[in-house]
């Protein structure tokens, strides 16, 4: 392997790193939505895996508190899973399926 080959590999690695950083910025701004209880609880999660909105149908608040809590947990967990899938899909587009530690 020559120094030219090593230089080319380093250049490609830097380009990949730049593309990954751009994808991370892009997915951080994207959101996914999830629901539970037939839409009675809705959540929105961004690509940084942050919960950014919860909407609860007022009718569900007349139910048992434990039911409301379960619906909120179910919606949040599904939202987080959806956000993880979205990020993984976008990263796979850049890496071609190459597993890079810390990226997914």
- pLDDT, average across residues 13-20: 84
Residue bearing the bigger pLDDT, 11 or 75: 75
d(CA 101, CA 104): 8
Q: Under DSSP, is residue 44 helix (H, G, I), strand (E, B) or coil? A: strand
What's the confidence (pLDDT) of residue 31? 94
CB burial readout 9-43, b (16+ within 10 A) else e: eeeeeeeeeeebeebbeebeeebbebbbbeebbbb
Q: Are 56 and 40 in contact (CB under 8 A)?
A: yes
Instruction: Report how far residue 23's alpha carbon sits from residue 21's, in angstroms, rounded to the nearest whole number.
Output: 5
Which domains are present in the chain?
3-95 (3.30.1310.10)
- The pLDDT of residue 3 is above 90: no
What pLDDT is attached to residue 75? 97
Candidate from 21-30, 54-63, 89-98 with smallest mean pLDDT: 89-98
For every residue of 23-36, DSSP letters joined together read: HHHHHHH-EEEEEE
* Lowest mean pLDDT segment, chosen from 1-5, 11-15, 62-66: 1-5
Q: Provide the pLDDT for residue 59.
A: 93
CA 5 remoteness from chain centre:
36
pLDDT digits (tens, 9 = 90+) for 27-85: 889 999 999 999 999 999 999 999 999 999 999 999 899 999 999 999 999 999 999 99
- The kind and range of the H/E element at 56 are strand 51-56
Higher pLDDT, 17 or 57: 57
């Amino acid at each position: 392997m020559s120094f030219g080959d090593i230089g080319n590999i380093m250049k490609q690695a830097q380009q990949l790193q730049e593309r990954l950083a751009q994808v991370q910025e892009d997915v951080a701004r994207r959101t996914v939505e999830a629901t539970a209880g037939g839409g009675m609880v809705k959540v929105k999660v961004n690509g940084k895996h942050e919960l950014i909105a919860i909407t609860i149908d007022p009718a569900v608040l007349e139910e048992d508190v434990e039911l409301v809590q379960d619906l909120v947990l179910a919606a949040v967990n599904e939202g987080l899973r959806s956000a993880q899938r979205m990020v993984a899909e976008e990263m796979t587009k850049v890496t071609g399926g190459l597993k890079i530690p810390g990226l997914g």
